[in-house]
Structure 1
Amino acid sequence: MNPLGRTANPAEYEEWLSEIDAVGGELAWIRKRKDFPTNSTGYERSPAEINLSVLKSRQVKDAIEKESERRKVPKEEIQKEAEEIIENMAQSFSLPSVKVVGYGVIKAIKNLFDAIYVNLQALRSLRQRLNSDSIVFIPTHKTYADFLLLSLLCYHEDVTLPAIAAGSDFQQSYFLGEALRRCGAFFIRRSFGDDAFYWAIFSEYIQTHLIHADRPLEFFVEGTRSRTGKSLHPKYGLLQCLLEPYLRAQVYDLVIVPVTMNYDKILEESLYAYELLGFPKPKETTSGLLKARHILSKSFGNVYITFSEPISVRNIIEPKIDRSQLSFYPQREFAVNFETRKAIQKFGHEIVKIHNRNNIITIWPFACLIINDINDRSPLTDPKPILFSELLERLQAFLHLLEKLQIAVQIHSTIENDLRHFLTLHSDLFVSFNLSAKDFYLKFAEMPVTNNESNNSSNNFNNSKLLSKSVTSIIFSNYANQAMFYIYQIGYICASLISNKYSTHSTSLMSFKGLKNDFG
């Protein structure tokens, strides 16, 4: 049995924040002279040149003509709309702006996190491929900090900063939107359904970056942040858009780099819980950003970032797809067949699996599993306090079992010391307790809730006490979900065995396969 999971082995992972201190602090770090490699074409187009090439492309010209005919308006009017869309969408990367914004961001990052462990050698090796390949970073998406950290790490290692696909929500704040745009973000609508005109401009904008290798791209294959701690279904349409230049033989190869990011404490943990209960998502406005300043006084523990081995699309796709046939289709008639679509979908799920296999999981998700199990014995409105010694004893037994199953868990000190550390880090989820005591009780804190703020205020969730307890319970469940990738198949086996105490090997195997087929 191959070991499952990873740990931040010092031989592979470096503590990045200490490297910033080693060069003289944030200001000295951001002012360092940069040596970004040239791309495979030897020429980096300006944002204005990229935008112009999109508008002049055959795909966009055809889309303008079709939209003009569909709406029965002059082409000049549709052309103007296309120019407005690309102007609103496009990045306007500026290194001086990156330095200004980056200084503020790195100051905030150092306040928020105690340590950031990264397998930096993998990123350094990737830098050498920028001269020859079009590269796409595909990180996990657990928090808004994901894309900030990835850009900062690229800056640190002199890797050309990526063009980042960001949601148009950020443009609700002019200040935030323009700051991100100048740091390489381009903005896409959260949903554009069957709007073929918008899709033509969007896909051409993406693909011209890949064909000309202007800069690496950064996409979240899950499409949005996971609010539950579990991976989301990959967005097939987005992935197909990325792969199309390869399928049409416009590039020799594409290099996909999955990046896994793990956090001791998620910045938006309480916001996710409120959203899952039906409370409206806060808007990404300047005032909202200013209101969020209070988090800078909190500690969010450690971050673990793992760059996967680069994936050659040619090596993955070529055995399954004959692109020689696809490449002969005119651009306006290009369409993928069933086999190609299935191969793309399978590739999307493989990226998500790589994300999960590269997770660095601490003891906290397993502690949350046990906390939830203990808590299930009492009503949610009146949960019984949890004795620290009981939690510790059960956690030690559980981790011992995981060790037997060769499942790696990140432990920095001892199980007890790490557990006390995480209880301190997440102390806002509990009523005040005396951590210095040998033993003590842990009781869930009640989160503030106002009924009229909730979309569900008229249904069964209108009980404020229940809602306030539910917020905390959901946060624990979200952290517990991070452990599911490691133990879900073991759960299937256990369920198969206990469903029938007289079961044979063959009936248990059949039951296991049935559960795996039903739940994945």
Structure 2
Amino acid sequence: HEIINLVLRRPAVREAMQEEQAEEKLSAAKIEKKARKMADEVAANFDSRILRVLDLILSWVFRKIFSGIRLHHVERLNRTANDRQLVYMPSHRSHLDYLLISYGLYTQGLVPPHIAAGVNLNFWPVGGLLRRGGAFYIRRSFAGQKLYSAVFRSYLDVILGRGYPVEFFPEGGRSRTGRLLPPKKGMLAMTVESFLAQPARKVALVPVYVGYDKLVEGASYVKELRGAAKQSESAGGLLKATRIFKSSYGSPHVAFGEPIALEDCLSHIEPEWRSKLQSGDESFIPAVVDHIAQENMERVNSAAVINPIGLVAMILLSSPQRAMAEDELLNQIDAFVALLKRLPYSADVTLPEGSAREILDAAARTAGLSRIDHRWGPIITATGKEAVMLTYYRNSVMHVLAMPSLIARFFRHSEQVSIDELRESCMQLLPFLKRELFLRVDLNNCDDVVDRHIDNLVEQGLLLRRGESVLARPEVGSNAYAVLTGLGRILRETFERYTMSSLLLVHEPGETAAPRSAVEENLIVMAQRLSIVSGREAPEYFDKNLFRVYLDTLIAQNLLHEENRDGERWVRCDARLQLFSQRWVALLGPDVQQSMLQLIRQPTMNSDS
């Protein structure tokens, strides 16, 4: 109640109340009642006694469904918490994310954060319980709600100003594909603005990677990606959730990434931010927010935990029929782990422990893999829903092998490749992978990055040097060739999506402008068609976000041009996109181009021709 009263006394809220009163022609008392009701809807009602109750409940639940919660890099987090206010910015893959993070912090003696939760979770009896555990609620949209926006912003400012740790999910919703979603920047912008109101505070933003051996919501995600409506959260749904006690879900992983000092980001983007702030110039804030949003997502992925199921999924899905001889699978597990050990993706990445056999057995227990006995040796396979979910686990960790996968892909249809040509191609293609997969790659130092990965592949015998300037693949039929081929197939669906999108854009709208919304719709329709024809089970073929990210990157690379017409965005292709699309075709083979061109059978878009 004290905090709500503070919120309602804020100048921004009083001003919004006066505007609302003038528009609605209501009394001041009624407007204040309305504002108080909004603040009550938003505000947490933190109660330490409830934390002890939740500790008992969650300890029992987690023992029933998990084989142990794994926390990573807690020591660094403890050091940061000693002298900084913490703002947690986790990946979002499950409703269990916020429970696991708060529970993990509580067990480590750290204060659980106030959590920005979707208002959809504010239903009886969960809403009140979470509220007393530190949850505060946020509506999906603030559009046209000036008073609510002022109340929420002021509430966030009050709790940040009081030094409470806060948590929000920058993706805005749970990922249905396993990949990180493009970050939404509203909450981050409010956090930055709150800090600038009291810039003497020391604030650290903490990226958090959350991963699962087996996802509780897996079955519903598969349905939603195929077009089923998302089920609203309710007490009835909560009762149905008791079915989870019939399964084992392995171990969830919570990895705290390298913290981001907020004042360092400000100084990086605008060295004179303090003097500009004093003069009333806040023009640098959007650039700071953009930088932090990207940096956080890259650091989330840098803290990835490569669990057994993620590693095995990358390998098994590289086989055309999602089936592989057991000895070949074990060999590739050893090879992939060796690659990651010799040249780690980052200092914070966690690799699976144990032998290849132990890694495979651990994955098989949670993923529902099938083992078929055969006279020439056992075969490991995945079918049905289990195969679809394997793509989810692969997608959550595939970024760690994206660079070697890109390089390996060039040898799919070529026995040898010029190193200079390889560097040039990677330089052109990497911006797309970096933006979609939030790769921790310095594009300004691309040649050195490529060379380090080439050296690693050569050291492992997966590529061979032919003089100073040429690389060759191993002999066809060798174990090394099988590993290189599997490595190149990790990003196959991604490259297929890029190829398909580029060819369709060149075909239509081409260099004639068309509404971007129509272009996006046609890309998705074609992807769905390709999925059916090719038998692909990749969930990213149904994810609108990925097509939007690809278009945004084409625009950033000046391969696609965007303009505003009467409030609607229109796009047209640059003449260079035709040539650029052949880069993607080269990674897949000429037969792919022909099959995709045959699939381009969509209605003509409304253009300005």
Interval of TM-score (by shorter of Structure 1 and Structure 2): 0.7 to 0.9
- Structure 2 equivalent of residue 302 of structure 1: 251
290-299 or 391-400: bigger deviation: 391-400
Contact 2:337–2:351 (Cα < 8 Å) also in 1:
no
Structure 1 residue 518 and structure 2 residue 518: aligned? no
Quote the residue 2:52 is aligned against: 99
CA distance in 1, matches of 2:140, 2:342: 44
- 1:425 partner letter: T
Cα RMSD after superposing both structures: 2.7
Question: What's the TM-score, normalizing by structure 2?
Answer: 0.65
CA drift of 1:144 comes to 1.7
CA distance in 2, matches of 1:208, 1:279: 40
Correspondence 1:139 to 2:139? no
Q: Contact conserved, 1:137 with 1:257, CA < 8 A, in 2?
A: yes
1:125 to 61, 74, 79: 79
1:48-447 correspondence to structure 2 within 5 Å = 48-118=1-71, 119-129=73-83, 133-171=84-122, 173-213=123-163, 215-249=164-198, 251-321=200-270, 322-327=273-278, 329=280, 336-337=282-283, 339-374=284-319, 376-377=320-321, 386-406=324-344, 410-427=351-368, 430=369, 440-445=378-383
Following superposition, the deviation at residue 200 of structure 1 comes to 1.4
What is the CA distance between 1:439 and its match in structure 2?
5.2
Partner of 1:479: 393
Give the gaps of 5 or more residues in structure 2: 435-609
Identity %: 26
State the Cα deviation string for residues 150-191 of structure 1 (Å, max 9, x = none). 2222322332221111111112x3101111011110111122
Distance apart, 1:360 and its partner CA: 1.6
How many residues are paired up?
427
- Distance in 1 between the 2:414 and 2:23 partners? 62
Q: Distance in 2 between matches of 1:406 and 1:90?
A: 43
Please tell me whether the aligned partners of residues 372 and 380 of structure 2 are also in contact (alpha carbons under 8 angstroms): no
**Could you tell me how far apart the structure 2 residues matched to 1:219 and 1:394 are?**
38
Please say if residues 309 and 366 of structure 2, whose CA atoms lie closer than 8 Å, have aligned partners that are also in contact: no
What displacement does 1:341 show?
0.9
> For the residues of structure 1 that align with 2:432 and 2:352, how far apart are their CA atoms?
34
Cα distance in 2, alignment partners of residues 163 and 398 from structure 1:
39
SS in 1 for 2:194: helix
CA gap of 1:342–1:307, structure 2 versus 1, over 3 A, is same
Q: Which amino acid aligns with 1:79?
A: E
1:57 shift after superposition: 0.4
Contact 2:188 2:293 in 1 (8 A): yes
Distance 1:391 1:309 in 2: 33
1:394 Cα offset (Å): 3.6
Tell me, yes or no, if the aligned pair for 1:134 and 1:211 is still in contact at 8 Å. Answer: no
Question: Is the partner of 2:317 in helix, strand or coil?
Answer: helix
- The amino acid that maps onto 2:89 is I
C-alpha distance after superposition, 1:269-328 (max 9, x if no partner): 222222111122222212211111121232211233222343321122124231433355
Q: Deviations over 1:450-487 (max 9, x none)?
A: xxxxxxxxxxxxxxxxxxx4x44331111111232112
Conservation of the 8 A alpha-carbon contact between 1:63 and 1:200 = yes
For residue 364 of structure 2, what is the amino acid of its counterpart? L
Could you tell me how far apart the structure 1 residues matched to 2:206 and 2:286 are?
21
Letter in 2 for 1:263: Y
- Tell me if structure 2 keeps the 8 A contact 1:255–1:313: yes
Question: Matched residues in 2 for 1:53 and 1:513: separation?
Answer: 53
CA distance in 1: counterparts of 2:228 and 2:266, whole angstroms = 42
The answer to whether the 8 Å contact 1:247/1:327 transfers is no
In the TM superposition, residue 222 of structure 1 has moved relative to its aligned partner by 1.7
Say whether the 8 Å CA contact 1:249–1:323 is kept in structure 2.
no
Indicate if the aligned counterparts of 1:256 and 1:313 stay in contact, CA closer than 8 A: yes
How high is the TM-score relative to the length of structure 1?
0.75
* Aligned-pair CA distance for 1:508: 2.8
Farther off after superposition, 483-492 or 175-184: 483-492
Stretch moving more, 297-306 or 101-110: 297-306
Distance, in Å, in 1 between the alignment partners of 2:176 and 2:35 is: 34
Q: What are the ranges of 5 or more consecutive residues in structure 1 without an aligned counterpart?
A: 1-47, 330-334, 378-383, 446-468
